[in-house]
Structure 1
Amino acid sequence: MWHTLGHVDVVHGLYYLIMRGVFGLWDGGLVALRLPSVLAVAAAAVGIIRLGQRLGGTWTGLLAGLVFPLLPPVQRYAQEGRSYALICALITWASCLLVSNLSRPGRRGWVAYGAVMLTACLLHEFAVLMLLAHGVTVFRARLARAWSIAAGGVLVGLLPLAAFSTTQSAQVDWIGTPDAGEVLGFAATALLGIAFARFAGRARGPITLSALALPLLILPSALLMLTSPLHPLYVDRYVLASAIGFALLAGSMLDRLRRSARGAGTVQRVTCAVALAAVLATLVPVSTALRKPGSRVNDAVAIARAVQDIAEPGDGLLFMPSRRRVWTLARPDSFRSLSDLALEQTPVASDTLFGTELPTDRIRERILTRARVIAVRDPEGQPLDANAREAVKRSTLDAYFEECASRTVTQARITVYARPGHC
């Protein structure tokens, strides 16, 4: 693992080490892989209840804690074996420490805050955007000196990882500029949060609920989107912790509606109840869809089955681009009857995620030894990798083979090539 992190995925290194420890204690398969994320979302919900109670009252906290796990992005990453739910939990409890420190300053409290924030940033360095959001909150509260020292410690601790991860920046070359749907979705969520902020109660300490929640909701996503013309880096999971801010604001709005309904007539109460039921009803199909394999960009098990169905013993196999070889790792037995024509060293042997490939002339020679080749590719419309190995795969297939059949499974395109006249 250490050798692998030396040239790929160092940004996820701490999470991998944590999960290695989990599997060392209990090899529970997919349950062990996903359980830390489930528990992290539960811990985040408890932290949000506490934040809401401190900043808005008991009902605000309870309602915010109920809203958080119902949000579709949170539901998704509560299910996945990734670091983002853990980061959410750490940011939530760092926010609790921040609120406590602003009310009752103390060295131990700020040290704890810095340690929790640094852990979140080491799990994924873009968590530092949440630190900047806290900075906006503290600046508005005019209590910046102690926070600045703690934040400086976080940045110093993060610097080695951030500096080394720049050597692996090619890993995020796949990220494109945010599309219209992503921009509009962010804008709608931000405007909704600003509207909800009007219902936030008065300050119960040095800061208000909206002073904490709005920067968390808006600033991280806005910064990533604004840097897109220079280098696209916006992916919704990188800023999943922004959901903390939305949940707090939604909790304050629901609390306001609850208090208003107490003094309202029967018609108004029924209207509020129907509206709330309608919102919850719209979450049912979304929640159901999120629990099906088709909701994921790539279903590695379905891809393996599709290759197994379409291939014949002795067929050649090409991954185009080579990083798609990672799809074999879920069901390696499905690919054993095929010859990986470009592979020089397997992922395990080479300490890589995708293995290493042969020189271009050897790839071409090996392709030409086959009558049929199964190509596992990106879907139509995706940008083509420009490196020489990918170019020789495409040019050799185009010159000496014809396309016989193709099928798409989630985001994988599986194509059978054969010599002319032999489809």
Structure 2
Amino acid sequence: MTGLLERETRSIPIVTPSRRTPIEVLDAVSRHRAFAPLTVGAVALLVSLIGITRPSLWYDEAATVTATTRSWAQLWDMLQTVDAVHALYYFIIHAVFELVGYSPLALRAPSAIAVGAAAALIVLLAREFRRPTLGVIAGLVFAILPRTIWMGGEGRSFALSTALAVLVTLLLVRAVSRPSTRLWIVYAVVVVFSCVLFVYVALVVVAHAITMAVWWLRRPPALRGTVLRDWVIAAGSATLVLSPFILFVRSQAAQVQWIPEISKRTLDYVFVKQFFFDSEPFAWVGWILLAVGAVALLRTAASRSLAAVLLPVLVVPSIILLGITAFTDMDLYSPRYVALTMPFVALTIGAAIDWLPRRRLAVLAIAALLGLAIPQLGELREVEAKQNTAWSMVADTVGAERALDAPGTTTAIIWGNLKRHPLATARVVSYAYPAAFEGTVDVTLETPAAESYRLWEKRGKLAEHLDRLDGAEVTYLITSITRDRRPATTEFLEAEGFRLVSSETMADLNVLRFERR
């Protein structure tokens, strides 16, 4: 036996270049050890970069911005009260901003790069089982899955944790097939790093326990104890190191009270949103291919070793989160929290495509996925794609109007409510797009976010801060379309000598401009 993992070999047909089908081109690409992962990774990166700055930032991304644009000391102070679960990600993005400055592109580009890295790692993982063509197919499928497109343009940790989920799985396979103390140490270290970045990566390690159990049962008795023992030591050591962090994060669990309980909508979350975002047609095709892929992986003894890796990671995170949400008082399941399973979804779908008996059917399957992905990419790159926000439009409007004002004009901003998010205010727009609001007077601000030890600033009542309007020639009210503050604010401003000159509604925000009479 050359290794602890059973391998599946596959012959690659030799054809003339002029007659190659797309699948045969992928066969040819897969032969190149460095070219294949680099090419697939580059394609995934490019897909994620298409229109990446067009969608307006939204609440979660604004949280990243307000956390990471404060000083290191202020960020550390904030993490003592909220968002410790995102601490490592915030440190990474803070470093990026210090290097290149803040912009929506700088915020989202790390996620696009992480998607590219994950796609390349998918190729390497499949290669461990001598399935290079599967790796190339799966890497390209991964790039166009709706949930992947979403996280590749999201200024949060989902894409980075997804890349780490593939990496830690690749390290597991290598440590089992080529046992060495060094590899097991690297595995444990990467597990710790991954879980600190996003604690839900621990669910991948739980899935690895099932993988190890399956392999242990299929191995000769002489090999069972050593391999299983090494994994238990590595995983156990990582758990021990992570325990204080997990307990501290658990103490801040109140911040995820927004996660809904199990309901009728949960079926839609599982069937559509967790893998396929908002595309129900993609979900139907995707689940059919997932079923076919699972059968393909289980059909032979050789491919079952790969199935033992893919299928547990594919289903275990969702099952655990749904179970905890259903049977305890902790609501932990959210479709985006299982985004880290997307590489394993892609590999299973890729196994279905690679197994199709006729290459024409495989080409049709890829064409169908691409045809479904293109409109989804278009929808995910609309300005209002993220929770129906249009903050970039608000900033552009205010910036354009201010540019027409006379030099030296003093502009005040009254930031009102924010839809769905009672702890924040519409000032999230200025965190996301600060240039449009540079030099303005924040009328109701009491404690800036960076000094509040929390994500968001502390505010007072408008009636208590009307003196800040002294000297202002222009005042804007930017507020949610819910909990309408326009009548009361207009009354206050008219009493201070302002008149309403324009009012616009942009997605979930009202933008009113007042000028002094």
TM-score (norm 1): 0.79
Q: Within 5 Å, which residues of 2 pair with 1:115-130?
A: 115-130=189-204
Q: Distance in 2 between matches of 1:129 and 1:191?
A: 25
The match for 1:287 among 353, 365, 377 is 377
Aligned equivalent of 2:140: 66
1:109 matches 2:174: no
SS in 2 for 1:376: strand
Contact 2:208–2:312 (Cα < 8 Å) also in 1? yes
SS in 2 for 1:319: coil
Aligned equivalent of 2:319: 222
Q: Distance in 2 between matches of 1:306 and 1:284?
A: 30
The match for 1:182 among 269, 272, 275 is 269
Q: Distance in 2 between matches of 1:415 and 1:31?
A: 25
SS in 2 for 1:159: helix
1:250 matches 2:337: no
One-letter code of the match for 1:374? L
Residue 280 of structure 1, CA deviation: 1.5
The 1:317/1:61 distance shift into structure 2, 3 A limit, reads closer
Contact 2:479–2:510 (Cα < 8 Å) also in 1? yes
Output one character per residue of 1:33-59: Cα deviation in whole Å (capped at 9) or x when no partner.
333222222221121112112236222
Aligned equivalent of 1:343: 445
1:357 matches 2:455: no
Aligned equivalent of 1:32: 106
1:302 matches 2:386: no
1:158 matches 2:266: no
Q: Distance in 1 between matches of 2:399 and 2:261?
A: 35
Residue 310 of structure 1, CA deviation: 10
Q: Distance in 1 between matches of 2:257 and 2:466?
A: 28
Contact 1:52–1:251 (Cα < 8 Å) also in 2? no
Aligned equivalent of 2:308: 211
Q: Within 5 Å, which residues of 2 pair with 1:266-285?
A: 269=360, 273-285=363-375
Deviates more, 1:326-335 or 1:43-52: 326-335
Aligned equivalent of 2:415: 317
The CA RMSD over aligned residues, in Å, is 3.7
One-letter code of the match for 1:84? F
Aligned equivalent of 2:208: 134
Higher relative contact order (CA 8 A, sep 6+): 2
Q: Distance in 2 between matches of 1:251 and 1:68?
A: 9
Output one character per residue of 1:154-181: Cα deviation in whole Å (capped at 9) or x when no partner.
2222222222223322321222236242
The 1:29/1:332 distance shift into structure 2, 3 A limit, reads closer
Q: Distance in 1 between matches of 2:239 and 2:504?
A: 47
Q: Distance in 2 between matches of 1:83 and 1:305?
A: 28
Q: Within 5 Å, which residues of 2 pair with 1:142-153?
A: 142=216, 144-153=228-237
The 1:98/1:277 distance shift into structure 2, 3 A limit, reads same
Output one character per residue of 1:98-131: Cα deviation in whole Å (capped at 9) or x when no partner.
1112222221111111111111111011111111
Structure 2 stretches lacking a partner, 5+ long: 1-74, 217-226, 275-282, 403-409, 470-474, 493-499
TM-score (norm 2): 0.66
SS in 2 for 1:344: strand
One-letter code of the match for 2:392? V
One-letter code of the match for 1:93? L
One-letter code of the match for 1:302? M
Aligned equivalent of 1:414: 510
Contact 1:130–1:220 (Cα < 8 Å) also in 2? yes
SS in 2 for 1:414: strand
Q: Distance in 2 between matches of 1:165 and 1:409?
A: 36
Q: Distance in 2 between matches of 1:407 and 1:157?
A: 53
Contact 2:161–2:194 (Cα < 8 Å) also in 1? yes
Contact 1:225–1:233 (Cα < 8 Å) also in 2? yes
Deviates more, 1:62-71 or 1:186-195: 186-195
Q: Distance in 1 between matches of 2:134 and 2:155?
A: 31
The 1:255/1:416 distance shift into structure 2, 3 A limit, reads same
**Count of matched residue positions in the alignment of Structure 1 and Structure 2:** 391
Residue 416 of structure 1, CA deviation: 6.2
Structure 1 stretches lacking a partner, 5+ long: 263-268, 385-392, 419-423
Aligned equivalent of 1:196: 293
Q: Distance in 1 between matches of 2:375 and 2:159?
A: 22
Q: Distance in 1 between matches of 2:300 and 2:398?
A: 60
Query: Identity of paired residues, percent?
Result: 32
SS in 1 for 2:424: helix
Q: Distance in 2 between matches of 1:316 and 1:24?
A: 30
The match for 2:477 among 363, 374, 397 is 374
Q: Distance in 2 between matches of 1:245 and 1:118?
A: 21
The match for 1:232 among 323, 331, 334 is 331
One-letter code of the match for 2:430? T
Aligned equivalent of 2:164: 90
